[in-house]
């Protein structure tokens, strides 16, 4: 079975400092990995995805993620955090075991990011 782990329930960072939200994965075969963000009482907003190609993926709102196959990680990063980045972040992996296509995402438990002035 495929899975992702987000080892930190909460990450605190000062505004203007770089931020990292960690994600590790366990899959058979090549992974399709995603990051989403959720603001209070809202759905999930797509940030970025890794399918293949460059290990550094650039996404929305200045976020990027680095795919590391040897460490089975897909950490989310931003060079300079904003207070408005405070939200719940989810890493997800596409389940490719079902075959014939299919859109089952398996999510991590989420990491609450708090950016303070």
Partner 1 sequence: KAGVTQTPRYLIKTRGQQVTLSCSPISGHRSVSWYQQTPGQGLQFLFEYFSETQRNKGNFPGRFSGRQFSNSRSEMNVSTLELGDSALYLCASSTGDRAGTDTQYFGPGTRLTVL
Site residues (vs partner 1, CB under 8 A) = 32, 34, 36, 41-46, 49, 51, 90, 94-96, 98, 100-110
Query: Which C-beta is closer to partner 1: that of 47 or that of 81?
Result: 47
CB of 85 to partner 1, least distance (A): 19
CB of 64 to partner 1, least distance (A): 16
Query: Which C-beta is closer to partner 1: that of 5 or that of 73?
Result: 5
| C-alpha–C-alpha distance, residues 23 and 4, integer Å | 7
Q: What are the phi and psi torsion angles at 56 (to 5°)?
A: -100, 115
Which residues share a beta bridge with 33? Answer: 50, 93
């Amino acid at each position: 079975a495929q899975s992702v782990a987000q080892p930190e329930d909460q990450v605190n960072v000062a505004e203007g400092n770089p931020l990292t939200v960690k994600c590790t994965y366990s899959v058979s075969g090549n992974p399709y990995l995603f990051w989403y963000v959720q603001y209070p009482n809202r759905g999930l907003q797509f940030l970025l995805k890794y399918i293949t190609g460059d290990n550094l993926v650039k996404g929305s709102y200045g976020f990027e993620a680095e795919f590391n196959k040897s460490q089975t990680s897909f950490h989310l990063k931003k060079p300079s955090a904003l207070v408005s980045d405070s939200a719940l972040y989810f890493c997800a992996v596409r389940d490719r075991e079902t075959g014939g296509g299919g859109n089952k995402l398996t999510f991590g438990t989420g990491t609450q990011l708090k950016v303070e002035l």
